[in-house]
Every structure is written in C-alpha cells, then in structure tokens.
Amino acid sequence: MRQAYRRILRYVPRYKVPLLFGACCVVASRLLMVYAPRLVGEALNALERGSPEGVDDAVRLGWTFLGVSLVAAVFTFGMRVFLVGTSRRAARDLQRDLFAHVERLPATFFDRTRTGDLLARLTSDVEAVRFSLGPGLMYVGSTIVLFPVAVASMMDLSLTLTLAALGPLLAIMVVVRVLGPQIMRRTRAVQESIGDLSARAQESFAGARVVRAYATEPVEEAAFGNENEGLVRETLALANFRAMLTGSLYVLGGGANLVVLWYGGSQVIAGTLDLGYLATYMLYVGMLIWPMISVGWVVSAFQRSAAAMERIDEIFDRPEESAITSEPAVELERIRGGISVSGLTFRHTGSARPALDDVSFEIEAGHTLALVGPVGAGKSTLLSLLTREYEPPPGTVALDGVDVTRIPLVVLRSAFAVVPQDAFLFSTTLHNNLAYALTGDLDPARAREVLQIAGLDEELVGFPKGLETVVGERGLQLSGGQKQRTTVARALLREAPVLLLDDCLSAVDTQTEARILDALREAMRRRTAIVVAHRLSTVRDADRIVVLDQGRLAEIGTHAELVEAGGWYAETYAEQRLEAELEGLA
C-alpha cells in the first residue's frame, strides 16, 4: 500500500503547515475528549454523597464538562478544516497533474484507451484517494491519540476490567485482517466496472446521431444495461464484505459493553468500584468502539484508495511524448518548411503488416505535394509521422534537413497547421474555435479573409449570432462540410510554414471543393503544403504527386507525368473524369 501512495505523498510538503495545525487539533481534541468522562464520573460520585457540598461539586464539574466539550468542539472543527481542506487541495493538484500528463501522452495511448475509462480515473479514482487522505487520515490520527490515552485512563480505574473489555475490542483487528484483502480485490473490480460503464455511456452519447440513424437504441440500452449489471454485481459483492466487516465490529463492540456492564456491575455491588467510575468506564468503552469501528472503515477506504491510486499510476507511468527523443534536441532559428522522407517504414502496434514500407520523397519549401492512393494506403499515417503524433524511426523524416525526432515537439508542431480528416470542433463558439491555436486575439479582418477562402463567408450570415454562434458538442450544430471548412479556416489563421490537408473537403461537393482549393492556392504559395485527396482533379496542379499503395510508394511525379505513365493514377483519374461527365449529363 505504501508503494501505491508514493506519488500522492509528494504533495505533502507543500501543505505541511496546515497539516501540522490539523495534527495539533487532533491531539488537543482527543485529549479533551478523554478527560471529559472523568468529570462525569466525579460529578456522579459527588451527587451520590447526597450532601450540599456534593451538589455544589457536581454543578462545578458540570460547568467544567461543558467548557471542556466546547473547547474540544473548536479543536474538532479545526481538525476537519485543516485536514479535509488539505485533502481537497491535494486532490485538486493530483487531478491537475493527471490531466496535464494525459494531454502529453502519445497518440498510441489514445488509440488503445477509452475516453470513459480516463474520465473515471480523473474523477472517481481521484475522489477515492482524496477521501482516504482526508477523513481517513483524520480518523487514523484520532485513533492513534485516543486509544492509548483512553486505555491508560481505564487501567487507572480498574486493570482487570480493562483487560476484560479489551478482548472483544482487539478481536476487531482479526476481523479486519481476514476481510481486508477481499475488500481490496472487490474494490479494484468496482473501480474497473465504473470505468467500463463510463466508457460505454461516453461512446453512446458521442455517437448519438449514428445510433439514431441506424435505430440501434435498444442495442445500446442492452449494452449499457449489461455494463450496469456488472457494476451492480461487483458493488453488491463489495457491499456484502463491507457489511460483514461492519456487522462484526458492532457485535464485538456490543460484546465489550456487555462485559463492562456485567463485570463492572458486580464490582459496584461488591463495593470495590464507585458507580460514577462505572459510568466513566462505560463512556470510555463507548468512546473506543467508534475508533475500532472506524479502523475497519478506514482500512476499507485505504484499500479502495490504493486500488484507485494504482489505476492512476498506470497513467502516470506512461512516458510523455517529450521524453521520447533519439538524440539531443536541436533548436531551429527559422523554419522554411522543406520536408524529406527517407526509407520510412512504420508499423502500428499490433498490426500484421507495415502501414508504410520503405517510403522516400522530398518536397522543397514553398511547394505543394499531393498524397493520393487507395483507402488504407498509409496517407494519414504519413502525415501523423511528420508531426510526430506517431513516433517515426530516427533518420527517416526531416524538416529543413533536421531529423524531426531531434526537434522539440513544441517547436516542431508550431511549424505545422493541420486540417485533420475527422473535422473536430470544441463545444464553444465559432469565434473560439477559429482562434483556438492563436496566441493573441483574433483579428476580425483576417478572420473574414480566411472564412472567404474556406467558403464560409456567405453561410456565416445565416448563423444565429455570427461568429458568436455556439457550434455544440463536436460541432453538431454545423453540417459536415461546414465543420470541415471551419477547420480549414482555423489552420489558415495559424500562419504556420507547413500546411497539412488530410482529405479535409470530402464532405463538400466537387464544385465547392474546387472553388475552395482555388482560393487556397494563393495561401499555399507562401507555405509548404501537403494535400491528401481522393478526387484527383483537385490536386492536378500540385508540384509533385506521390501515389501510395498498401504502404509502399507506387508512383511519383507531376500530374502530366503520372497520366502518361498509365498506372493507378492515370486509371483512377480517367474513371473520375468519366463519372464527372456522366453526372454533368444527368
């Protein structure tokens, strides 16, 4: 368990002052709590004498008891403020660092990890850790102070009665030892089930339009129901073990009270123990029952927290992108945008064949390169390797003659403006989506210019609030073509030396695509551009065209050279021209 908490303990030094105050409050409040029953016993003994002096003593002791209780309450309040408050701040720091770490993980991590599971680790797992480190540590500290002092006070009243009462109380330790490992295993299973359920819900909500389009609501409901049933089974199994633990603790606590009442009562009858001290003893036993019960609860909380922390550490243990470098970093004073690929072979994790196999080409700064080929040829993978979204083998990809694996990621990616195949927008305004990658404010004149290039200027008039229109989650308020053109405008605003267009206009018609590409040509003259396209007519003016087929470089040349070569490019271009002519006749 100590190993599980090694990371969260790193946050302790920054909160040592409130933790110290909290610890002082724990000690003070528990010592006062132990002292208070002695006052009750003395007051009862004074009343038992039946004299006016005894009554006066009882009243004085009663006021003293009230004062001690009030001061103990103040310290108890401080204990909760300092310890629980510190746990909240530590959880905030843990959540912040976990989120920042996830943001810096490589693309391969997201390829294999469900978003819902990540959300569960970021929320419920962090809360489990916080709960044990706040209330958990508070109750542990209370028990550590309260138990020995209370036992010492009980032994001062009666050694034999103390030994008799401690038997049932110490049996609690045995119960915790037996049931604790089972609770730990069940807790881990519950945390994993929560992650599975969150992942299922997130995927279903994100794909709501697909679900409705295929009328598969019953299928999704059944799948969610299965995950929910699994969570219920695991939760009930955990609840059963916790109930066994809690029930055992209450039975043993009640047994301790029964022993005190029977054995202590006999001593009162025999005249060897005052009635007031028996009442004091009963208060002490009652005082110790909760700490012993809380030991079981705290053990359960710590076990759940340890399981949660292990799941969190699984994320922290993944290396960040910046930690993956082949050689010492190289700083580039000015990026022109020349790109060379040499002998590039890359295989996705778990894939039987390479996504790219011995691919080589060059593109000079300020020129345009087109990537074409059948579906699955490796075009998008190649773009991902240029920006190190996937890590290319050292020596295979270079920017301005420098191996990209030696260029710091922030510097490398600042050189690229990417328009992905999957047009993603954030659930905010159109203005904020356009300005997402900018370091300063969005220039209205420049915004109008890029919106005109992307073919959105006329449609913007129809938006309810213009640029302040909220596009909805993942841009659901916009059409597919509008989303793609918005991402084009966002990339143009970045003014990066290299522009990557990954089949980014597939959702618009041929005429609109041609009009946008014509407008883009002027912007692309000032930059290096790599364009992935399926409509070959849109890339015929590229300086060089690379044809990929099953990950290998099949053809390379200009449009005229490839048409004359009579290969895949020429055949596909002829087919697409015929289709366009037939559509025109229709």
All domains of the chain, ordered by start, with CATH? Answer: 8-317 (1.20.1560.10), 334-415+496-586 (3.40.50.300), 423-495 (3.40.50.300)
- Residues 459-509 have pLDDT tens digits of 776 777 777 878 777 667 777 777 888 888 888 888 889 988 887 766 666
pLDDT band at 202 (very low <50, low <70, confident <90, very high): confident
- Residues 269-309 have pLDDT tens digits of 877 777 787 788 778 887 777 776 666 667 777 777 888 88
pLDDT band at 545 (very low <50, low <70, confident <90, very high): very high
Cβ-based neighbours of 496, under 8 Å, separated by 6 or more: 414, 415, 416, 417, 527
Task: Decide if 344 contacts 396 (C-beta within 8 A).
Answer: yes
Please tell me the pTM assigned to this model.
0.71
SS3 370: strand
Mean per-residue pLDDT of the chain: 82
Confidence at residue 501, expressed as pLDDT on a 0 to 100 scale: 86
- Percent of residues, the chain, with pLDDT higher than 70: 91
Please classify residue 274 by burial: count the beta carbons closer than 10 Å to its beta carbon, then call 0-12 exposed, 13-18 middle and 19+ buried.
middle
SS3 406: helix
Count of residues in the chain? 586
Please classify residue 16 by burial: count the beta carbons closer than 10 Å to its beta carbon, then call 0-12 exposed, 13-18 middle and 19+ buried.
exposed
| Rounded distance between C-alpha atoms, residue 224 and residue 216, angstroms | 12
What average pLDDT score do residues 128-155 get? 84
What average pLDDT score do residues 410-426 get? 84
Sign of CA dihedral 148, 271, 56, 282: positive
| Rounded distance between C-alpha atoms, residue 181 and residue 178, angstroms | 7
Cβ-based neighbours of 274, under 8 Å, separated by 6 or more: 41, 45, 48, 268
Measured between its terminal Cα atoms, the distance across the chain in Å is 73
Amino acid at position 331, single letter: E
Q: How far is CA 369 from the centre of its chain?
A: 39
pLDDT band at 77 (very low <50, low <70, confident <90, very high): very high
pLDDT at 585 over 70: no
- Residues 43-65 have pLDDT tens digits of 877 877 777 877 888 888 889 98
Q: Could you tell me which residues are beta bridge partners of residue 579?
A: none
Q: How far is CA 513 from the centre of its chain?
A: 39
Token readout for 52 is 């006016």
Cβ-based neighbours of 50, under 8 Å, separated by 6 or more: none
Confidence at residue 213, expressed as pLDDT on a 0 to 100 scale: 67
DSSP 470: B
Token readout for 30 is 């528990």
Confidence at residue 122, expressed as pLDDT on a 0 to 100 scale: 86
User: Do the strands 397-399 and 416-419 form a parallel or antiparallel pair, or are they unpaired?
Assistant: unpaired
pLDDT at 581 over 60: yes
Confidence at residue 139, expressed as pLDDT on a 0 to 100 scale: 83
pLDDT band at 326 (very low <50, low <70, confident <90, very high): low
pLDDT at 195 over 60: yes
